[in-house]
Amino acid sequence: MTSLTLPGSIYTTANRCQTRLVPSPCFANDCLDALSHDFTKYVKSGDIWRRAYPKYAGSSAPPWVEMPYDAIRLNVNGNVIFSDLVANVLTPVLEYTVPVGYDGVINQNLQIFVPAAGAAFQDGSTALTWYIGVNQCFVSDYTGMNYHEGSLDSIGRVALGAGIRVFANQIYTYYVQWDGTTALDDVGQVIVGFSGWVYPKHA
Protein backbone atom coordinates (compact mmCIF):
# COMPACT_ATOMS: atom_id res chain seq x y z
CA MET A 1 0.00 0.00 0.00
CA THR A 2 1.38 3.33 -1.02
CA SER A 3 1.56 5.82 1.79
CA LEU A 4 -0.01 9.08 0.70
CA THR A 5 1.15 12.22 2.45
CA LEU A 6 0.12 15.79 2.26
CA PRO A 7 2.55 17.97 0.36
CA GLY A 8 4.97 19.57 2.74
CA SER A 9 3.46 17.95 5.76
CA ILE A 10 5.16 15.99 8.46
CA TYR A 11 2.76 13.09 8.29
CA THR A 12 4.11 9.62 8.51
CA THR A 13 2.13 6.46 8.51
CA ALA A 14 2.87 6.00 12.18
CA ASN A 15 1.40 9.22 13.51
CA ARG A 16 -1.58 9.70 11.24
CA CYS A 17 -4.06 9.45 14.03
CA GLN A 18 -2.47 12.21 16.02
CA THR A 19 -3.48 15.83 16.04
CA ARG A 20 -3.19 17.52 12.67
CA LEU A 21 -0.06 19.57 12.13
CA VAL A 22 -0.16 21.13 8.72
CA PRO A 23 2.88 23.35 8.42
CA SER A 24 2.05 25.39 5.36
CA PRO A 25 -0.84 26.26 3.08
CA CYS A 26 -1.45 23.67 0.40
CA PHE A 27 -3.70 23.21 -2.62
CA ALA A 28 -6.71 22.96 -0.30
CA ASN A 29 -6.08 26.53 0.79
CA ASP A 30 -5.97 27.53 -2.84
CA CYS A 31 -9.38 25.91 -3.42
CA LEU A 32 -10.92 27.72 -0.49
CA ASP A 33 -9.29 31.06 -1.25
CA ALA A 34 -10.34 30.89 -4.89
CA LEU A 35 -13.94 30.03 -4.07
CA SER A 36 -14.14 32.80 -1.50
CA HIS A 37 -12.64 35.27 -3.96
CA ASP A 38 -14.98 34.25 -6.77
CA PHE A 39 -18.05 34.31 -4.59
CA THR A 40 -17.16 37.72 -3.21
CA LYS A 41 -16.70 38.98 -6.76
CA TYR A 42 -20.09 37.56 -7.72
CA VAL A 43 -21.82 39.16 -4.77
CA LYS A 44 -20.27 42.52 -5.45
CA SER A 45 -20.90 42.39 -9.17
CA GLY A 46 -24.51 43.49 -8.91
CA ASP A 47 -27.78 43.20 -7.13
CA ILE A 48 -28.50 39.61 -6.26
CA TRP A 49 -32.22 40.21 -6.59
CA ARG A 50 -31.82 40.92 -10.30
CA ARG A 51 -30.52 37.40 -10.73
CA ALA A 52 -33.18 35.91 -8.50
CA TYR A 53 -35.93 37.68 -10.45
CA PRO A 54 -34.55 38.07 -13.99
CA LYS A 55 -37.96 39.09 -15.25
CA TYR A 56 -37.67 42.30 -13.26
CA ALA A 57 -33.94 42.78 -13.74
CA GLY A 58 -34.52 45.97 -15.70
CA SER A 59 -36.59 47.54 -12.95
CA SER A 60 -35.18 50.30 -10.87
CA ALA A 61 -36.17 48.60 -7.63
CA PRO A 62 -36.85 45.05 -6.46
CA PRO A 63 -40.39 43.73 -7.05
CA TRP A 64 -41.16 43.88 -3.35
CA VAL A 65 -40.40 47.61 -3.26
CA GLU A 66 -42.06 48.77 -6.47
CA MET A 67 -45.18 46.99 -7.60
CA PRO A 68 -44.40 45.24 -10.90
CA TYR A 69 -46.75 45.55 -13.85
CA ASP A 70 -47.85 41.92 -13.59
CA ALA A 71 -48.28 41.82 -9.82
CA ILE A 72 -51.59 40.99 -8.24
CA ARG A 73 -53.02 43.18 -5.53
CA LEU A 74 -53.28 41.51 -2.15
CA ASN A 75 -56.06 42.80 0.06
CA VAL A 76 -57.61 40.49 2.64
CA ASN A 77 -59.55 41.24 5.78
CA GLY A 78 -61.14 39.36 8.63
CA ASN A 79 -63.10 40.00 11.78
CA VAL A 80 -64.24 38.35 14.98
CA ILE A 81 -66.82 39.42 17.53
CA PHE A 82 -65.42 40.30 20.93
CA SER A 83 -67.57 37.81 22.81
CA ASP A 84 -65.87 34.98 20.92
CA LEU A 85 -62.45 35.82 22.35
CA VAL A 86 -61.08 33.58 25.08
CA ALA A 87 -58.96 35.13 27.80
CA ASN A 88 -55.20 34.94 27.21
CA VAL A 89 -55.53 32.81 24.11
CA LEU A 90 -54.39 33.87 20.68
CA THR A 91 -57.46 33.82 18.49
CA PRO A 92 -56.83 33.65 14.75
CA VAL A 93 -58.85 36.30 13.00
CA LEU A 94 -57.48 36.10 9.48
CA GLU A 95 -55.49 33.49 7.64
CA TYR A 96 -53.84 34.11 4.30
CA THR A 97 -51.86 31.61 2.25
CA VAL A 98 -49.45 33.02 -0.30
CA PRO A 99 -50.42 31.45 -3.63
CA VAL A 100 -48.20 28.87 -5.24
CA GLY A 101 -45.85 30.42 -7.75
CA TYR A 102 -45.91 33.86 -6.23
CA ASP A 103 -43.79 35.86 -3.85
CA GLY A 104 -44.86 39.20 -2.58
CA VAL A 105 -44.94 41.80 0.09
CA ILE A 106 -47.34 42.92 2.78
CA ASN A 107 -46.67 46.58 3.31
CA GLN A 108 -49.84 47.62 5.03
CA ASN A 109 -51.78 46.11 7.87
CA LEU A 110 -54.97 46.94 9.70
CA GLN A 111 -55.93 46.11 13.29
CA ILE A 112 -58.77 47.87 15.02
CA PHE A 113 -61.57 47.31 17.52
CA VAL A 114 -64.94 48.70 16.52
CA PRO A 115 -67.43 48.86 19.41
CA ALA A 116 -71.15 49.08 18.79
CA ALA A 117 -72.14 51.14 21.79
CA GLY A 118 -70.18 49.78 24.74
CA ALA A 119 -66.64 50.22 25.97
CA ALA A 120 -64.03 51.00 23.39
CA PHE A 121 -60.42 49.84 23.22
CA GLN A 122 -57.79 52.18 24.58
CA ASP A 123 -54.51 52.22 22.70
CA GLY A 124 -51.64 51.12 24.82
CA SER A 125 -53.74 49.11 27.21
CA THR A 126 -53.29 45.38 27.43
CA ALA A 127 -56.94 44.66 26.71
CA LEU A 128 -56.17 43.54 23.17
CA THR A 129 -52.87 42.43 21.76
CA TRP A 130 -52.31 41.69 18.11
CA TYR A 131 -49.75 39.35 16.55
CA ILE A 132 -48.93 38.44 12.97
CA GLY A 133 -47.82 34.84 12.60
CA VAL A 134 -46.06 33.18 9.71
CA ASN A 135 -46.39 29.42 9.58
CA GLN A 136 -45.47 28.27 13.08
CA CYS A 137 -43.84 31.45 14.32
CA PHE A 138 -44.17 35.22 14.28
CA VAL A 139 -43.17 38.08 12.07
CA SER A 140 -40.47 40.21 13.61
CA ASP A 141 -41.68 43.57 14.89
CA TYR A 142 -45.30 42.52 14.49
CA THR A 143 -45.80 40.85 17.87
CA GLY A 144 -47.29 42.15 21.09
CA MET A 145 -48.96 45.16 19.47
CA ASN A 146 -51.18 46.91 22.05
CA TYR A 147 -52.41 49.61 19.74
CA HIS A 148 -54.65 49.90 16.73
CA GLU A 149 -53.22 50.44 13.27
CA GLY A 150 -55.11 52.04 10.43
CA SER A 151 -58.81 52.61 10.15
CA LEU A 152 -61.62 51.39 7.96
CA ASP A 153 -61.06 54.41 5.73
CA SER A 154 -57.32 54.17 5.59
CA ILE A 155 -55.55 50.89 6.02
CA GLY A 156 -52.73 50.98 8.55
CA ARG A 157 -49.00 51.13 8.78
CA VAL A 158 -47.33 51.71 5.44
CA ALA A 159 -43.85 50.26 5.34
CA LEU A 160 -42.26 52.34 2.63
CA GLY A 161 -39.53 50.63 0.66
CA ALA A 162 -40.43 47.17 1.78
CA GLY A 163 -42.59 45.53 4.40
CA ILE A 164 -43.15 41.90 5.22
CA ARG A 165 -41.73 39.92 2.34
CA VAL A 166 -43.89 36.86 1.77
CA PHE A 167 -43.06 33.71 -0.11
CA ALA A 168 -45.10 31.07 -1.87
CA ASN A 169 -47.03 28.70 0.36
CA GLN A 170 -46.41 30.62 3.55
CA ILE A 171 -49.43 30.97 5.81
CA TYR A 172 -49.90 34.33 7.49
CA THR A 173 -52.24 34.48 10.44
CA TYR A 174 -53.48 37.56 12.23
CA TYR A 175 -54.10 36.84 15.90
CA VAL A 176 -55.71 38.84 18.64
CA GLN A 177 -55.50 38.17 22.35
CA TRP A 178 -57.80 39.47 25.07
CA ASP A 179 -56.30 39.88 28.54
CA GLY A 180 -59.42 38.51 30.25
CA THR A 181 -59.84 41.39 32.66
CA THR A 182 -60.65 44.50 30.67
CA ALA A 183 -64.31 44.58 29.71
CA LEU A 184 -64.93 45.79 26.20
CA ASP A 185 -68.12 45.97 24.19
CA ASP A 186 -69.35 42.38 23.86
CA VAL A 187 -70.72 42.90 20.38
CA GLY A 188 -67.75 44.96 19.24
CA GLN A 189 -65.73 43.67 16.31
CA VAL A 190 -62.02 43.06 16.03
CA ILE A 191 -61.10 43.76 12.42
CA VAL A 192 -57.75 42.98 10.84
CA GLY A 193 -56.38 43.08 7.32
CA PHE A 194 -53.38 42.77 5.07
CA SER A 195 -52.59 44.74 1.98
CA GLY A 196 -49.77 44.52 -0.51
CA TRP A 197 -49.11 42.57 -3.68
CA VAL A 198 -47.80 39.29 -4.98
CA TYR A 199 -45.79 38.84 -8.15
CA PRO A 200 -44.88 35.80 -10.26
CA LYS A 201 -41.96 34.05 -8.73
CA HIS A 202 -40.34 32.86 -11.94
CA ALA A 203 -39.60 34.61 -15.14
Work out which of 2, 60, 154, 181 binds other proteins, going by CB under 8 A. Answer: 2
Compute CA distances 104 → 60, 107, 144, 167, whole Å.
17, 10, 24, 6
Binding region for other proteins (CB under 8 A) out of 33-41, 74-82, 98-106, 150-158: 33-41
Is residue 167 a contact point for other proteins (CB under 8 A)? yes
DSSP state of 158: B
Q: Which CB, 179 or 186, lies closer to other proteins? A: 179
Beta-carbon neighbour count of residue 166 at 10 Å?
25
Q: Which CB, 143 or 189, lies closer to other proteins? A: 143
Q: Which CB, 21 or 117, lies closer to other proteins? A: 21
Binding region for other proteins (CB under 8 A) out of 10-18, 78-86, 118-126, 181-189: 10-18
178: left (phi over 0), alpha (psi -120 to 50) or beta: beta
Footprint of other proteins on 122-151 (CB under 8 A): 131, 133-141, 143-144
Residue 70 CB, nearest distance to other proteins (Å)? 22
Residue burial 112-134, b: 16+ Cβ < 10 Å; e: rest: bbbeeeeeebeeeeebbbbbbbb
Binding region for other proteins (CB under 8 A) out of 19-27, 53-61, 105-113, 120-128: 19-27
Q: Which CB, 52 or 187, lies closer to other proteins? A: 52
User: Which residues, 6+ apart, have CB-to-CB distance to 30 below 8 Å?
Assistant: none
Among 62, 38, 36, CA closest to 48: 62
Residue 117 CB, nearest distance to other proteins (Å)? 31
Binding region for other proteins (CB under 8 A) out of 17-25, 78-86, 155-163, 179-187: 17-25
- For CA atoms 162, 168, 170, 171, the dihedral sign is positive
**Coil, strand or helix: which one is 95?**
strand
Q: By CB neighbour count within 10 A (0-12 exposed, 13-18 middle, 19+ buried), where does 145 fall?
A: middle
List contacts with other proteins (CB under 8 A).
1-2, 4-6, 10-11, 16-29, 31-33, 35-36, 39-40, 43-44, 48-49, 90, 131, 133-141, 143-144, 167
